[in-house]
């Protein structure tokens, strides 16, 4: 029944049996967030959607490693031929950075493993269902869609952990290869101050030069921190921006139009994985080279 009240407002009166069947509808909010969404919250552990993707990548790498171990032959054929060509090309590329095959063979397993891990994470983020399969939850009185999967490298926590691994690992390698005392003096140059009394009579300029050498060590510390920021933000920014771009294109035109952008993201995924692994190799090479060389 429709009527008009004293304020000239249209009022719709439904019978009780029809009113009971009404369901309140509320719009579900969904937006890309810079942070990874929580899937499960425990007392000591929080599982996020990017963490699930990273675990899937680890599982893929383990399975592939076992398959390769079982299928590898002394006389290669088929896929093994292609894989060995890739490994050989990667070794030659690493040689151009290290300048030494022995050093390459020491660092190559770490850097190539980082390349594979980052590459698969980059590519998993553009698969159908990643970012679109999930569930609704109530957050601050609003229904929010939470995707079950999110690209691991589209989360700053993941890229920061990888960057810390690369930078801290390179510094540990430097301390092992060049000696802990020599490597420590790269940052806090105590040797420069200890050398002043010995050399001041022969070379008075040492009183000015050596404190400058000590100051350079502070710059080195800042440089190591900058490496972490550079590695983590570059990888995160490129992959996150790519996922947002794909989602925007799919929202505008669901068919055909997003395909070129997907191919672009495949290429970007390879480039970013290559940059991350090569820079890690560069850091390892520099850290393990003695100062006089």
The string of pLDDT tens digits covering residues 34-55 is 677 778 887 888 888 888 888 9
Token pair, residue 120, equals 């698969």
CB 230 within 8 A of CB 275: no
101: Cα within 13 Å, side-chain hemisphere: 4
Helix (H, G, I), strand (E, B) or coil at 157: helix
Confidence of residue 32 (pLDDT cuts 50, 70, 90): low
- Residue of higher predicted confidence among 72 and 285: 285
Q: Pick the residue with more confidence: 152 or 147?
A: 152
**Nearest in space to 102 (alpha carbons), one of 287, 286, 285, 293:** 285
Per the DSSP assignment, residues forming a β-bridge with 146 are 135
Residue 241 has pLDDT above 80, yes or no: yes
Looking at residue 5, its pLDDT comes to: 46
pLDDT score for 140: 60
Average pLDDT of the chain, as a whole number: 79
Whether the pLDDT of residue 193 is over 60: the answer is yes
End-to-end CA distance of the chain: 92
pLDDT reported for residue 166: 93
Q: Which of 22, 228, 64, 31 is nearest to 147 (CA)?
A: 31
| pTM beyond 0.85, yes or no | no
More confident residue, 131 or 152: 152
Residue 266 has pLDDT above 50, yes or no: yes
DSSP symbol at 288: T
Q: Which burial class, exposed, middle or buried, applies to 188 when counting CB atoms under 10 A from its CB (0-12, 13-18, 19+)?
A: middle
Q: Output Rg (C-alpha) for the chain, integer angstroms.
A: 28
Cα dihedral value 141, 241, 273, 176, nearest 10: -70
Q: Which residue in the block uniquely carries the two structure tokens 């009971």?
A: 20
Q: How many CA atoms lie within 13 A of 197 on its CB side?
A: 2
Question: What per-residue confidence (pLDDT) applies to 4?
Answer: 45
Instruction: Check pLDDT > 80 for residue 8.
Output: no
| Inter-CA distances, 118 with 96, 102, 161, 184, 247, Å | 22, 25, 12, 31, 21
Mean pLDDT of 132-160: 75
Higher pLDDT among residues 151 and 95, named by residue: 95
Residue 187: its pLDDT value, please? 79
pLDDT over 50 (residue 2): no
Q: Residue 12: is its pLDDT beyond 50?
A: no
Q: Say what the pLDDT of residue 13 is.
A: 52
Instruction: Quote the distance between the C-alpha of residue 144 and its chain's center.
Output: 26
Q: Residue 29 carries which DSSP code?
A: B
The predicted pLDDT at position 20 comes to: 46
Cα–Cα distance for residue pair 138/46, rounded to 1 Å: 18
């Amino acid at each position: 029944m429709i009527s008009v009240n004293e304020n000239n407002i249209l009022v719709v009166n439904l019978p009780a049996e029809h009113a009971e069947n009404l369901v309140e509808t509320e719009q579900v909010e969904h937006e890309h967030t810079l942070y990874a969404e929580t899937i499960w919250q425990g007392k000591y552990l929080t599982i996020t959607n990017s963490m699930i993707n990273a675990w899937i990548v680890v599982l893929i790498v383990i399975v592939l490693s076992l398959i390769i171990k079982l299928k590898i032959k002394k006389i290669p054929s088929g896929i093994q031929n292609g894989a060995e060509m890739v490994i050989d090309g990667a070794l030659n590329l690493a040689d151009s950075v290290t300048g030494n095959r022995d050093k390459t063979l020491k660092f190559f397993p770490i850097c190539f493993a980082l390349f594979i891990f980052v590459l698969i994470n980059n590519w998993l983020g553009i698969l159908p269902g990643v970012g679109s399969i999930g569930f609704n939850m109530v957050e601050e009185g609003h229904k929010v869609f939470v995707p079950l999967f999110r690209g691991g490298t589209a989360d700053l926590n993941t890229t920061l952990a990888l960057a810390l691994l690369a930078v801290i690992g390179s510094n540990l390698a430097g301390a092992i290869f060049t000696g802990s005392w020599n490597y420590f003096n790269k940052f806090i140059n105590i040797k420069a101050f200890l050398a002043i009394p010995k050399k001041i009579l022969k070379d008075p300029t040492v009183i000015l030069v050596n404190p400058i050498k000590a100051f350079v060590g502070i710059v080195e510390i800042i440089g190591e921190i900058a490496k972490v920021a550079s590695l983590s933000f570059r990888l995160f920014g490129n992959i996150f921006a790519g996922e947002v771009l794909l989602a925007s294109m799919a929202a505008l035109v669901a068919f055909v139009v997003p395909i070129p952008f997907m191919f672009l993201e495949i290429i970007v995924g390879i480039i970013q994985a290559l940059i991350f692994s090569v820079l890690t190799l560069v850091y390892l090479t520099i850290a393990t080279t003695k100062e006089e060389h």
